[in-house]
Structure 1
C-alpha cells in the first residue's frame, strides 16, 4: 500500500514539473518575477500537502493512483480532457502569453484563492477515504457516504476546490488564452459533477438521503 501511495505522489510531483517545463518552453526559457513566485509557491505547497496526505492516509492515496478502474466512459473522457488542460495546457498558454510583470492585487488574490482551494481539497481528501481520482461506485471497497467536514457544505468539495483554482489561475496569469482554458476546464468540472452526482444518487446507498441534508453540489446557495 505504501509503495502505491508513494507512486501516486511521485506522479503528482512529475505533473508539476512537466507543467513548469511547458511554461518555460512557452516563455522561451525566460521568467517574470510573477512566474517565479508562483512556481516556487506551487512546488512548496505541493510538497507540504503530499507530506500531510501521505502521513494521514496511505490507502486513499494508493486508490487515487489507480487509472484502470471500472469508471464509466464519460468519466474517462472528461478526466483526460481535464488532466490535459488543468495540468499542462494552462501553463504552456501562460508561458506563451507572459510579456510583462503583473505582481499586483489581482495576482496575489489569485495566489490566495489557489491556496484556499488547495486547503479545501486537502480537507476533503482527509475527510473522505473514498475520494478516488475516477468517478465510480466503489463496491469493492464497501463505499460509504461521507457527510462530515467539507461534505457538510457541498457534496463535491474537491470539485469546488478545482473551480476556485481555475479562478485563481485566471488571476495569476491574466491572459485571454488562460481565461479560455480555465473556462473550458470549469465547464468540464461542472459536467463531471452533474454526471457523478446522478450516478451516486442511483447507485450509492444513502446518497439520495444525503442530498436532502447537503443541498448544493459545488457552490453554496447556487448549485
Structure 2
C-alpha cells in the first residue's frame, strides 16, 4: 500500500507540474517549485501516518475518485472538480508567471505556505477522529460505517471541508496569483453545495446521521454556517 501511495503521489505531482509549468512557459518559477515540494511533502506525511495508524482509511483514500457504489451526483461532482482544479492551476500559472500580472509580497507567499500546512494538520485531526473520511460520498457498509461525533466533528459537521478553505486561500498566495485568490469564493461555494448533498445522502443511508446533524448545528464554520 505504501508503494501505491508513493506511485500515486509521484504521478499526481507530475501531472500538476506539467499543467503549471507549461502554462507558466518556463521552468524558472521558484514559487511553483515550492508549491509542488510542499504538496508532495504534506501528502506523503499524512499518507505515511495513515499507513501506520489507520491503513483501512488509507486504502479508501487511495481508491479512484469515481467508484461503483458512490452516489451518482457525487460522480458528476468529482468529474467537475477535476476540470476546475486543472483550470485553476493553469490560471494561477498564467497569472503569476507567464503574464506576471499579480504582485504578491513575500510575506504573503509565506502565509500561503503556512495556510496549506495548517490545512493538512487539521485534516490529520479529522482522520484520527473519523476512520470513514473517504474522498467520495458513500456509506462504507463493508467497514462498519458509523456516525462520527467526536473531535472536530463535535464542532462542525464537515471539518475537512473547513480545512480545505485554508488550502484554497493558501495555494494562490504561495503561487502569487490574485486571480487564483479571486476564484476562492466559487471553490468554497462548491464544497458548500457538496456538504449539503452529502448530508442528504448520509441522512437517508447512514443510521444516526440525521440525529447527529440536529445536535451539531454548523456545517463549516461555528457561528456562521
TM-score, L = length of structure 2: 0.86
- Aligned counterparts of 1:124 and 1:73: Cα–Cα separation in 2: 25
1:61-72 aligned within 5 A: 61-67=58-64, 68-72=67-71
RMSD, matched Cα: 2.2
1:99-138 aligned within 5 A: 99=97, 102-138=104-140
**Per-residue CA distance 1:16-50 (angstroms, 9 max, x = gap):** 22112211111112333333333322222222222
- Aligned counterparts of 2:48 and 2:142: Cα–Cα separation in 1: 27
Unaligned runs of 5+ in 1: none
Q: Provide the residue aligned with 1:200 in structure 2.
A: 202
Q: Provide the residue aligned with 2:33 in structure 1.
A: 36
| Paired positions, count | 219
- Aligned counterparts of 2:92 and 2:53: Cα–Cα separation in 1: 34
- Aligned counterparts of 2:37 and 2:6: Cα–Cα separation in 1: 18
- Aligned counterparts of 1:30 and 1:6: Cα–Cα separation in 2: 28
Q: Is the counterpart of residue 214 in structure 1 residue 213 in structure 2?
A: no
- Aligned counterparts of 2:3 and 2:161: Cα–Cα separation in 1: 23
Runs of 4+ in 1 over 4 A off after TM superposition: none
- Aligned counterparts of 1:176 and 1:102: Cα–Cα separation in 2: 8
Q: Provide the residue aligned with 1:97 in structure 2.
A: 95
Unaligned runs of 5+ in 2: none
**Per-residue CA distance 1:60-93 (angstroms, 9 max, x = gap):** 111223332312221011112223333x332222
The 3 A distance-change label for structure 1 pair 69 and 158 is: farther
The 3 A distance-change label for structure 1 pair 152 and 31 is: farther
The 3 A distance-change label for structure 1 pair 51 and 8 is: closer
- Aligned counterparts of 1:41 and 1:66: Cα–Cα separation in 2: 23
Answer yes or no: is the 8 Å Cα contact 1:8–1:64 preserved in 2: no
Q: Is the counterpart of residue 159 in structure 1 residue 161 in structure 2?
A: yes
Q: Is the counterpart of residue 185 in structure 1 residue 183 in structure 2?
A: no
Q: CA deviation at 1:54?
A: 1.5
Further displaced range: 36-45 or 107-116: 36-45
